[in-house]
Structure 1
Amino acid sequence: MTSDSSPVPGSRIRWRRGRVTALGRSWRDAQEMTVEVDGDGTLRALAHPSVVGSPQAGDDVLLNTTAWAQRLGTGGYALVVAVPDRLPADPTGTGHLVKGRYTPLQVTVQGVDEQDTEHHQLIAEAEDLEGMPVVVADLHSALPAVLAGVQATDPALRVAYVMTDGGALPAAFSRTLDALADSLAGVVTVGQAFGGDLEAVTVHTGLLAARHVLHADITIVTQGPGNLGTGTPWGFSGVAAGEVCNAVHVLGGQTVGALRISEADPRPRHRGVSHHSLTAFGRVALGGVYLVAPRGLGSELGSQVEEDLAGQPQRNPIEWVDSDGLETALRDVGVPLSTMGRGLDEDRAYFLAAAAAGRYAAQLTLFGPLPA
């Protein structure tokens, strides 16, 4: 038997109790608040009310402050684990999928692909994506920029979003998704991610749901907010973008890679075309990816991008896309653009590249593959 003084090796959580002193902004199943914690002072905290309860000023809350104490993660929050005196109601309905499995906060959802859903037969019989273009990016921050590129090309196209579990698991964590709700055909959360309009077990069934349930013309796939990276060639959560490309290929979709391009990132491995893109699309994705680069980067960065992409396998065609009008579309997309703390003016190339991928996907939808 172990005791508190002799913990077993493994994962560590920094637990704290606190008292809510004020509520802040709220959005889709997310509530910011200020919490006073003995020894830590005043913290900014976040709760997902459907999971942990709806806190009010004066409530005592149980917090996970692990990432907050290390200054890690998107948002910098302490996370509310429970509001003991204001717990949510027991779940109802027929959902049997468990996400966050065997963690203390596992949740039950109804999957679009499980037996007791109205869509089960449709997903069971779906053969492929019918050639649907799928834009794959490794960072959540690319989502609004890709969408801007699609809308600038044809605003009538239906765009779905599939969120993988490489970053934040609750879709409600993303303020971007809340702001873009009226511009998306729907959100599908896959793997251990949860909280979308539809839930799916795998990327494969999530893509099929986007096409056949949400009737998307184009689907965008990224991980949730946040990215885990170790500065090693393979140790970053964006590697999964390559596996998404494989799923699209197997299901008969057209894969479009949103390249991570920057001239502002202080880390050499992310200057020009990031090693994340080169690895995920060039080494993990096995079925061929349209790699899209925007014209108008400037001669020096443009030359660097050409050089970075020269080593891509033959199966990955390089597509240079006209960027006229994309910067205006990015400024009008309706949500703040930010990647690694940099906005459009600080890292124009990153957002322009994502928007160009959206434009190319729209062109594939409208006209099919473009001549070389």
Structure 2
Amino acid sequence: MVRWRTGTVTRHRNTWTGAVELDIELDRRAPDDPEHVKALAYTELVGTPLPGDRVVLNTNALKAGLGTGGYAHVIAIPDRLPEDTDPVGHIVKARYTPLQTMLLAADEEASPHRDTLATADDIGGMPVVAADLHSALPAILAGVHATRPDARVAYVMTDGGALPAAFSRTLDALRPHLAGTVTTGQAFGGDLESTNIHTGLLAARHALGADITITTQGPGNLGTGTTWGFSGTSTGEAVNATTVLGGRPVGALRVTDADKRDRHQGISHHNLTAYGRVALVPADLVLPAELDPALREVIDGQLPALTRHRVVTVDVTGLDEALRALPVKLSTMGRGLDADHAYFLTSAAAGRHAARLLPRA
């Protein structure tokens, strides 16, 4: 059941592409309701709430205290509905929910990319870097551009985490450094839309002209602490799709010695399942040449679960500086660059390896 609330917008806190962050004075219905809440409105879905507007809210994530998605979400501005707009496409995302939206797929008839994508059947050896968490995206991009500044990099966002691309302030800040974003499956709001990971990769290559593509979930990650109960199985599926389409899969390993949970120490158990059991074809799994010896010992004990793949060791000269120069603040599970350096360095090393797979300029 949706935890419904109403309130009044008091101010705009921040805005970025496709979203506005608001302060809301809440109409309190329960004794534990706060007087004010922070809320997010996706402007392409509900319009732009203004100070003084009454809004209808979903406060489930706020009540649950979710670290990634702990906002109230604006469902409607009931007294000032946005103007009608005619759908430009025929695919529906967030299907059969109250906020389903109709969008133009990159390969459907009305798309300017239709003729190209209707006959596209492979991605021509393009390196595709697959990662579990959205937080790896900027680090992988840093590794690519520290090695090949001229490389055109696209981002394919899968639907295991946040569905709206507009939720990601990281992605908004990285837009000038990307050839574009493709949102796949139920995810929406990219520069291009696709129905699945396969058409997403084809669109990245042939419509956005990418040399390299990075694919991760949107922000957030569903996990139950069990072997199979997590949304990052999509990492292994991306490896399979890349190979089917004639690309070169590169795995960005989720490596840490900072996470207090044993199942994520060394190589996360998410990767051990996704690469070890979901991925049915080999990928290049990348490790930095410089890792703490104790962490490397843990990893070496886990690598037999990944024998299908090629483990590649990459020098990391200059990558720390590239990570610190990014236009976004790095954070994973609440830990920044210095608190979880191995995680971000490993992601950057995967980007460097992908860049080195490109033909010489």
Partner of 1:347: 340
The residue identity in structure 2 corresponding to 1:17 is T
Deviation at 1:269, TM superposition (A): 0.4
CA distance in 2, matches of 1:96, 1:76: 32
Is 1:98 equivalent to 2:82 in the alignment?
no
Deviation at 1:103, TM superposition (A): 0.6
3-state DSSP class of the match of 1:311?
Answer: helix
In the superposition, the TM-score normalised over structure 2's length comes to 0.96
Q: After superposing the two structures, state which structure 1 stretch, 38-47 or 247-256, moved more.
A: 38-47
CA distance in 2, matches of 1:50, 1:321: 42
Partner of 1:261: 255
Aligned residue among 131, 134, 143 for 1:137: 131
**Is the contact between residue 50 and residue 88 of structure 1 (CA under 8 Å) also seen in structure 2?**
no
Instruction: Name segments (4+ residues, structure 1) moved above 4 Å.
Output: none
CA distance in 1, matches of 2:319, 2:178: 19
In the superposition, the TM-score normalised over structure 1's length comes to 0.94
* Cα root mean square deviation, aligned: 1.3
Is 1:331 equivalent to 2:320 in the alignment?
no
**Is the contact between residue 54 and residue 87 of structure 1 (CA under 8 Å) also seen in structure 2?**
no
Deviation at 1:73, TM superposition (A): 4.8
**Is the contact between residue 19 and residue 35 of structure 1 (CA under 8 Å) also seen in structure 2?**
yes
Deviation at 1:93, TM superposition (A): 5.2
Partner of 1:4: none
Deviation at 1:152, TM superposition (A): 0.6
3-state DSSP class of the match of 1:365?
Answer: coil
Alignment of 1:229-240 (within 5 A): 229-240=223-234
The residue identity in structure 1 corresponding to 2:207 is V
Q: After superposing the two structures, state which structure 1 stretch, 266-275 or 37-46, moved more.
A: 37-46
Which 5+ residue runs of structure 1 have no aligned equivalent? 1-11, 368-372
Deviation at 1:216, TM superposition (A): 0.4
Deviation sequence 1:295-351 (CA, Å, 0-9, x none): 1112111222122113313x3010111111111100011110000000000000000
**Is the contact between residue 276 and residue 306 of structure 2 (CA under 8 Å) also seen in structure 1?**
yes
The residue identity in structure 2 corresponding to 1:146 is I
Deviation sequence 1:207-249 (CA, Å, 0-9, x none): 0010011110000000000000000000000011111111111
Partner of 2:294: 300
Partner of 1:21: 10
Equivalences, count? 356
Partner of 2:165: 171
Is 1:42 equivalent to 2:36 in the alignment?
yes
Partner of 1:6: none
Deviation at 1:289, TM superposition (A): 1.1
CA distance in 2, matches of 1:197, 1:208: 14
The residue identity in structure 1 corresponding to 2:197 is V
The residue identity in structure 2 corresponding to 1:44 is K
3-state DSSP class of the match of 1:310?
Answer: helix
**Is the contact between residue 54 and residue 86 of structure 1 (CA under 8 Å) also seen in structure 2?**
no
**Is the contact between residue 236 and residue 275 of structure 2 (CA under 8 Å) also seen in structure 1?**
yes
**Is the contact between residue 62 and residue 82 of structure 1 (CA under 8 Å) also seen in structure 2?**
yes
Partner of 1:111: 105
**Is the contact between residue 51 and residue 88 of structure 1 (CA under 8 Å) also seen in structure 2?**
no
CA distance in 1, matches of 2:112, 2:47: 29
CA distance in 2, matches of 1:223, 1:301: 26
3-state DSSP class of the match of 1:245?
Answer: helix
Aligned residue among 14, 20, 40 for 1:31: 20
**Is the contact between residue 88 and residue 102 of structure 2 (CA under 8 Å) also seen in structure 1?**
no
Is 1:247 equivalent to 2:241 in the alignment?
yes
CA distance in 2, matches of 1:85, 1:195: 26
